[in-house]
Amino acid sequence: MRTYPITVHWRQENRTIQLDVPEGEYILRSFEQQGEPLPFSCRNGCCTACAVRVIDGSIDQREALGLSREVRGQGYGLLCVARATGPLEVETQDEDEVYDLQFGRFFGRGTVRAGLPLDEE
């Protein structure tokens, strides 16, 4: 089976980890199985706890529901649903930073009113 070198610069831990990951395997899962667990929360590609920015290479992350095409186009990825497709170098990101990129435009758009039935709004 073909494997690819995956390098993760884990900013928050001031560490760099490089492991070989089998082609098509989820990067997060493979790192865990090799004794190098990385940050995560949902494992479903819906949050931003495992967010990275791609430095070199590319990833297959078609299951990354937690990132819009726009944010993915800026080089962000989610390791829990990212599959190895070739050599890759990434850097972990702060969850709040990526969450704001993804969802920030939806916040602060008016007030929330409690207690009104939907048909009275």
What average pLDDT is seen over the chain? 86
The DSSP bridge partners found for residue 52 are 77, 92
- The mean per-residue pLDDT over the stretch 92-118 comes to 69
Provide, rounded to the nearest whole percent, the portion of the chain with pLDDT above 70: 86
- The mean per-residue pLDDT over the stretch 12-20 comes to 96
The Cα 118–Cα 78 span in angstroms is 35
- Provide the pLDDT for residue 57: 96
Residue 72 CB burial class (10 angstroms; 0-12, 13-18, ≥19)? middle
Secondary structure of residue 15 in the 3-state scheme: strand
Q: Catalogue all structural domains in the chain, each as residue range(s) with its CATH number.
A: 3-90 (3.10.20.30)
Q: Which DSSP symbol is given to 95?
A: H
Confidence of residue 92 (pLDDT cuts 50, 70, 90): very high
Does the predicted TM-score (pTM) go above 0.75?
yes
The Cα 115–Cα 93 span in angstroms is 38
pLDDT tens column, 35-51: 999 999 888 888 888 99
- Provide the pLDDT for residue 96: 80
Confidence of residue 106 (pLDDT cuts 50, 70, 90): low
- The mean per-residue pLDDT over the stretch 101-106 comes to 73
pLDDT tens column, 20-39: 999 999 999 999 999 999 99
